[in-house]
Amino acid sequence: MIGPASFGGIDGFIAEISGNSLVRSTYLGTGGTDQIYGIDFDKNGFPYVTGQTTGAWPHINATYFNNGAKQFISKLQPDLSGFVYSTTFGSASSLPNISPTAFLVDRCENVYVAGWGGCFNCPSPPLSSYPNAGTGGMPVTT
């Protein structure tokens, strides 16, 4: 799920570059298609990522997660060596519900994600050239 080589299919990739030098890098992924849409850092230098997957994204040290969901949020170690936590959100479907479009980590390490979800009641299979599960049935909490 996090490491120096691809996990198959399409994986996310993070790199820290200083001048012309690669300081560190890592792949994030599953055996499916994994895309990182946003990256942000907290005040202590920990990187956070959000994106979507068609695989089984890991739940690590997460108090909230939705099994089978295809959107993820992960906090990584500053040296990119592993997850501090990783979680998923959305409905359990074979396709992602949304394409994340905005991502923010605030001073208190609260995480905010906004995204575009296409149609509410998508036909199966989707008629769009950007297939998604739509936003219908996505769980919400108080």
98 or 142, which is more confident?
A: 98
Q: Which two tokens stand for residue 48?
A: 């956070």
Which pLDDT band holds residue 106 (cuts at 50, 70, 90)?
Answer: very high
Contacts of 94 (CB under 8 A, 6+ apart): 54, 70, 133
Please count the other Cβ atoms lying within 10 Å of the Cβ belonging to residue 123.
9
At CA 88, angle to CA 124 and CA 69, rounded to 5? 20
- Longest Cα–Cα distance of the chain, Å, equals 48
pLDDT tens per residue across span 26-72: 999 999 999 999 999 999 999 999 999 999 999 999 999 999 999 99
pLDDT tens per residue across span 1-11: 789 998 988 99
Tell me the mean pLDDT in the region 88-108.
Answer: 94
